Amino acid sequence: MLVALRGNQVVYLSPEGLTLRVHGDDDIESSWFLASELYICGNFKQADVVRVFGVSASSVGESVKLYLAYGRSGFWGPPRPELGMRKTGSVRADARDPIR
């Protein structure tokens, strides 16, 4: 999976270049929801989520716990202490140029 930043949208691309999901670059909740869903459904290992999303392994664990405890609704609505996750600057820079 590739993650690209196009304008003010984050675009998730399959290895074939097909668009899988799109959301605003300020919608952190959608990023964490997708990362958790990919892990829980068995599509990604924790190391894959860390590499693609540029986050720590412990934050992936917290996100997965949030997903398992609250489902989709855990990522939207009132802030939860479990959701203190942000993309790093280097990941945002890499997202601007998905061709590596």
> What is the number of other CB atoms lying within 10 angstroms of the CB of residue 42?
7
Could you state, in chain order, the average pLDDT of each consecutive group of 10 residues for the chain (100 residues)?
A: 86 86 88 90 90 87 88 76 52 54
Q: Please report the pLDDT score of residue 87 as a whole number.
A: 47
* Cα gap 100→90, rounded to integer Å: 14
Provide the edge-to-edge strand list for the sheet that holds 9-13. Answer: 2-6, 9-13, 19-24
The phi and psi torsions of 45 (rounded to 5 degrees) equal -90, 165
pLDDT number for residue 76: 78
Cβ-count burial of 92 within 10 angstroms (0-12 exposed, 13-18 middle, 19+ buried)?
Answer: middle
**What is the model's pLDDT at position 90?**
56
User: What percentage of the chain's residues is helix, strand, coil (to nearest 5)?
Assistant: 50, 15, 35
pLDDT at 84: 54
Determine the pLDDT at residue 93. Answer: 59
> Nearest CA to 74 among 83, 85, 86?
83
